[in-house]
Structures are given as structure tokens and as C-alpha cells.
Structure 1
């Protein structure tokens, strides 16, 4: 079924200090800052626009799942297990808090990492077929 909605344009993340958080995302993840003031920073990375919004201390973009565990709200995709391992290593080398690479019983592997404000993210070793097709990434 076709849909009128074509993409997610912006993701909003709670951060305590937009300037410090923006610097963290630039240094650790290669984000590009497009705008910043005292209330927010606007970044581009992973083919997405991220707004880092000044929030109350301790606010995080996560939720408790049915087993009462904190769950990430967003999964980044990389192109294959080697890229997953490389990113995992690079983030560890940069001092980012990362979880172990896991086999969760579906295609590919994953790991989680946290930004400086405790926002939890997931990384998956499989690019979606529609993304590969749109951006002409070879599908081995």
C-alpha cells in the first residue's frame, strides 16, 4: 500500500546543554551542525535532521518496555556486519558507552549506545532494501 507520508523529517532529542550535546554528536558521530542557540541545536547526520532540544535534567528519549527495561526509540542502520563491528570499535575508542554486539534472533546483529545525556540508540547491521535501492547501494 502506498502512503502519503514519505519520510521522517526531524527527530527531537532532549539534551541538557545543546552546545555540549552538539559538540558530542559532531565529534562522536560525524554530525554536521546547521544551527544552534541556547534552546536547541539542529544537526544533520544519517540522512536525517536531529533537533537537540534543551530539556529538564534527566529527560531521555526512551521508554520502559513490557519487561520494565529501558528501550531505545531509534535504530540506525549500517551496511553489513563489518560496518557494525567497525562502528562499535570506533565508538568505544571515542569513549562512548556501548553495549555488546548481539544476535537477537532476526537477520543481522545489533548493539546499543548512549549519548552524553543518556539517550539510548540501537544500531543494526542491515540496511533496508528500499534505502539500498533509492541510494543505489549494491545488494550483494
Structure 2
């Protein structure tokens, strides 16, 4: 069966201060700020070929959740192209003072580490680009 959906257009993330968090994404992860509304209630970012909308939310509202078997889960996983790129990004983020976890072997191809934004949202970073993405953008 072919999917009727073509792509995920936007990921919405709860943050207490969209301006501050958009600056964090731009400075640390290379996001591009597309829009910040006048009331600072939301910011739109372009990051890793994906649109993210940072929505002002109550303090303590996070995008993460806990599963029965795996524990903490993330709203999304960012990908880099290989273990060397993962190690380099981890080092760069540590030098910038970003909250960065240790590189982990989770029993599947590649390695991962966790980063945390200013509100405490945690994101996964994985060393494996998807095959479809590599083919689409002609990446080896």
C-alpha cells in the first residue's frame, strides 16, 4: 500500500520562550529562523530539511514522554552522516556549553547521544542517515 501522505510538514515543540529557544537552535544546531511573531508566542524554524514551530507553553510542558519498555523518548531524532560526524557534533556542542549526553550503543546500527534545549526538551542525535535521504540528496 502506498502512503497517501508525502511528508511530515511541521513538528511543534513546547517552549517557555520561543525567542530564546529559537536562538539556541540557530546558534547550536544551525537552524534558520523563518518567523518570530510580534508577541513572541511562536517561532518558525527551518532545521535539517524540516519545519519546527516553537510554541510558547507553560513551564514544565515538555515534548518528551516515557514508554513502558524503553523509558524516555524524544519528539524527534536528528541524523548526522556517520560516527565521525556524531563525535564531532558532540564535541562542538560540549564546547558551546550545550547539555550533551554520552555517545551510546543502543543495540542497533550506529550510535546516539542526547541533547537538551533550554526548557529541558531532549532530542536524540543518531549517526545514521536514512537510505532514502541519502539517495534523494546523493549523499555517500
TM-score by length of 2: 0.94
Tell me the equivalent position of 2:104.
102
Partner residue in 2 for 1:39: 41
Residues 31-71 of structure 1: per-residue CA shift (max 9 Å, x gap)? 11011022100000110001000000111101012158432
For structure 2, which runs of at least 5 residues remain unmatched after alignment?
A: none
**Secondary structure in 1 aligned to 2:84?**
helix
- State the Cα distance separating 1:73 from its structure 2 match: 2.3
User: 1:124 maps to which residue?
Assistant: 126
Q: Give the structure 2 partner of residue 29 of structure 1.
A: 29
Distance 2:69 2:82 in 1: 29
What is the distance in 2 between the residues matched to 1:108 and 1:64? 23
Report the counterpart of residue 75 of structure 1 in structure 2.
77
Q: Counterparts of 1:72 and 1:33 in 2: how far apart (Å)? A: 22
May I ask how many residue pairs the two structures share in their alignment?
A: 138
Output the CA distance in 1 between the equivalents of 2:127 and 2:59: 32
Choose the corresponding residue for 1:51, options 47, 53, 59.
53
Q: Which moved more, 1:1-10 or 1:94-103?
A: 1-10
Deviation at residue 6 of structure 1 after TM alignment: 1.6
Give the match for residue 68 of structure 2: 66
Structure 2 CA distance for aligned equivalents of residues 57 and 130 of structure 1: 37
Which position in structure 1 is the counterpart of 2:117? Answer: 115
Partner Cα distance (1:2, 1:68) in 2: 30
Q: TM-score, normalised by structure 1?
A: 0.94
1:78 CA displacement? 0.6
Gaps of 5+ in 1: none
Partners in 2 of 1:94 and 1:71 — Cα distance? Answer: 24
Separation in structure 1 between the aligned mates of residue 50 and residue 70 of structure 2, nearest angstrom: 30
1:8 matched to 2:8? The reply is: yes
- The 4+ residue runs of structure 1 with deviation greater than 3 A are none
